[in-house]
Amino acid sequence: MTTNKELCVNKRNKLLSKEELEGMSKEELIDKVIQLQAHNLQLKNIIQKRDPDGKISEESPSKKKRKFDFSKAYKRHILLKFLYLGWDYQGYASQEDSVSTIEYHLFRALEKTCLIEKRENANYHRCGRTDKGVSAFSQTISIDVRSKFPPEDQMLPESLENELNYCVMLNQSLPDDIRCISWHPLEDDTFSARFNCQERSYRYFFPRGKLSIPAMREGCVHLQGSHDFRNLCKMDVANGVVSFTRTIESAVIKEIAQDGSDDPHSMMFLEIKSNAFLWHQIRCIMSVLLLIGLEKEKPEVILELLNVQKNPRKPQYSLASDVPLNLYETSFEDKDSWVLNQQTLERVIRDLETQWMFSSIKTTMMLEMAKDLKRMLLEKFPEASEVGCSGEELIQGAKMKNYKRLMERSKGESLEDRIEHYVKKRRLNVNQQCYWTTVSSTTNLS
For residue 46, the model assigns a pLDDT of 62
In what helix (H) or strand (E) does residue 412 lie, and over which residues does it extend? strand 411-414
Q: How far apart are the first and last CA of the chain?
A: 31
At 159-194, the pLDDT tens digits run 999 999 999 999 999 999 999 999 999 999 999 999
For residue 171, the model assigns a pLDDT of 96
Contact 49/57 with Cβ under 8 angstroms?
yes
In what helix (H) or strand (E) does residue 213 lie, and over which residues does it extend? helix 213-223
Quick one: what percent of the chain has pLDDT higher than 70? 88
Q: Evaluate if residue 106 carries a pLDDT over 70.
A: yes
* Angle subtended by helix axes 281-293 and 213-223, to nearest 10: 140
Quick one: what percent of the chain has pLDDT higher than 90? 66
Q: How far is Cα 296 from Cα 413, in angstroms, rounded to an integer?
A: 24
Strand partners, 160: none
Q: How far is Cα 64 from Cα 113, in angstroms, rounded to an integer?
A: 15
Spatial CB neighbours of 28, under 8 Å, sequence gap ≥ 6? none
At 236-261, the pLDDT tens digits run 888 888 899 999 999 999 999 777 67
For residue 437, the model assigns a pLDDT of 37
HSE-CB for 150 with a 13 A CA cutoff: 1
Mean pLDDT of 281-298: 97
Contact 283/322 with Cβ under 8 angstroms?
yes
Q: Name the amino acid, one letter, at 73.
A: A
For residue 388, the model assigns a pLDDT of 83
Q: Tell me how crowded residue 402 is: count the other CB atoms within 10 A of its CB.
A: 4
Mean pLDDT of 274-280: 94
For residue 386, the model assigns a pLDDT of 81
Classify 203 as helix, strand or coil. Answer: strand
Q: Tell me how crowded residue 139 is: count the other CB atoms within 10 A of its CB.
A: 26
Question: Does the predicted TM-score (pTM) go above 0.85?
Answer: no
Q: How far is Cα 442 from Cα 144, in angstroms, rounded to an integer?
A: 22
Least confident of 48-57, 110-119, 171-180, 188-197: 48-57
HSE-CB for 146 with a 13 A CA cutoff: 21
Q: How confident is the model at residue 443 (pLDDT cuts 50, 70, 90)?
A: very low
Nearest to 7 by CA among 418, 346, 445: 418
> Which phi-psi region, left, alpha or beta, contains residue 259 (left: φ > 0; alpha: ψ -120 to 50)?
alpha
Task: Give the rounded distance of the alpha carbon of 425 from its chain centre.
Answer: 29
Q: How confident is the model at residue 45 (pLDDT cuts 50, 70, 90)?
A: low
For residue 254, the model assigns a pLDDT of 95
Q: How far is Cα 26 from Cα 15, in angstroms, rounded to an integer?
A: 18
Ranges of beta strands (E only) in 49-134 are: 74-84, 125-126
Spatial CB neighbours of 279, under 8 Å, sequence gap ≥ 6? 233, 234, 235, 236, 241, 441, 443, 444, 445
Least confident of 147-161, 325-339, 361-375: 325-339
Average pLDDT of the chain is 87
Which residues are known catalytic residues?
A: 131
For residue 286, the model assigns a pLDDT of 97
Decide the pairing of beta strands 74-84 and 178-186: antiparallel
